Amino acid sequence: MKNILAEITAHKAVEVAERQKVRPAQELENTSMFSRTPLSLRSFLKQPGRNGIIAEFKRQSPSKGIINDTADVQDVTTTYARHGASGLSILTDQNYFGGSMDDLQMARAVNIIPILRKDFVIGEYQILEAKAIGADVILLIAECLTKEEIKHLAEFAHNLGLEVLLEVHTADQLDKISPHTHLIGINNRDLKTFQVDIYRSMELLKQIPAEYSKVAESGMDDPATIVTLRNAGFDGFLIGEHFMKAENPGAAFESFTQKLASL
């Protein structure tokens, strides 16, 4: 079977090296956004009146192909925020997810809730980019990085004031949790087979140390599942496709949250 993560990270190395040639790190550090104080997703997940959902803007994916190629990032994300999302997740990978750093910047310009840069981070430069475009949180995927790389990149992001969401899928990856990985995401989707099992979150939850915020990721499409996961101890719920596949993702989010509030 094709290893999509290996393919994505190999492509990422080439793409990032090209961007770095055009725009050296120093230029990123000189942008006005770079001096902005990031928002804390951990705090927003606990904020009364917000529902714990990290609502994702995702145009396409390797497993699903095109999900929504007409949605407007500002319309969708402001509707997510207006209806109680605790945070936004914006895909910035262009080649495999049809996203862009422009999407994130457009979302940043009109939202005052935390934004996760959803991408495949393999080096410091992408973390500087994240800060320069107005992200508050970066994603590190345990499957793509060694324990030492995670430790180093998490500390680098933390020193810039960014929070780190470390994504795991198996129990052995929990060994890669490092001091500055503020939130632990359990991905219900196996990124090798694309199979989704929402009970994966439940299985690993008890092994995550209490001090970390816990986020269930992928495959959630029912408000009742959120209630079950919340009661089990999850603080956050990363949901993309269920909203984005609707003709009007904002309206789908609103109806989901109304049902959630009634449970």
Ligand X SMILES: O=C(O)c1ccccc1NCC(=O)[C@H](O)[C@H](O)COP(=O)(O)O
35 is annotated as an active-site residue: no
Which alpha helices (H) appear in the chain, and where do they start and end? Answer: 4-22, 25-29, 41-46, 73-82, 101-110, 124-132, 147-159, 199-205, 223-232, 241-244, 249-262
119 binds ligand X (CB under 6 A): no
**Which residues are CB-contacts of 19 (< 8 A; sequence separation ≥ 6)?**
125, 129
Per the DSSP assignment, residues forming a β-bridge with 137 are 116, 163
Residue from 42, 37, 41 nearest 161 by CA: 37
118 is annotated as an active-site residue: yes
Q: Which of 42, 169, 189, 200 binds ligand X (CB under 6 A)?
A: 189
Q: Which of 151, 217, 226, 235 binds ligand X (CB under 6 A)?
A: 217
Q: Which of 126, 128, 241, 250 binds ligand X (CB under 6 A)?
A: 241
Task: Kindly indicate which of the ranges 79-87, 109-117, 171-179, 232-240 contains the residues binding ligand X, using the contact rule CB under 6 A.
Answer: 232-240
> Looking at beta carbons only, is 28 or 52 nearer to ligand X?
52
Instruction: State the catalytic residue, choosing from 129, 143, 217, 241.
Output: 217
Smallest distance, ligand X to C-beta of residue 44, A = 18
173 binds ligand X (CB under 6 A): no
Smallest distance, ligand X to C-beta of residue 231, A = 20
x-or-dash pattern for ligand X, window 40-59, by CB under 6 A? Answer: ----------------x-x-
* The one-letter amino acid at 147: K
71 binds ligand X (CB under 6 A): no
Q: What is the chain's length? A: 263
Smallest distance, ligand X to C-beta of residue 161, A = 24
- Report phi then psi at 226, rounded to 5: -65, -40
12 binds ligand X (CB under 6 A): no
Cα–Cα distance for residue pair 215/129, rounded to 1 Å: 24
**Which residues are CB-contacts of 131 (< 8 A; sequence separation ≥ 6)?**
28, 33, 34, 38, 160, 161, 162
* The one-letter amino acid at 252: A
Smallest distance, ligand X to C-beta of residue 244, A = 7
Instruction: State the catalytic residue, choosing from 12, 118, 151, 214.
Output: 118
Q: Which of 40, 92, 178, 218 binds ligand X (CB under 6 A)?
A: 218
29 is annotated as an active-site residue: no
Instruction: State the catalytic residue, choosing from 40, 61, 201, 218.
Output: 218
Buried b / exposed e across 92-107, counting CB within 10 Å, b at 16+? bbeebbbbbbebbbbb
Smallest distance, ligand X to C-beta of residue 217, A = 4
Which residues participate in catalysis according to the annotation?
56, 58, 118, 167, 187, 217-218
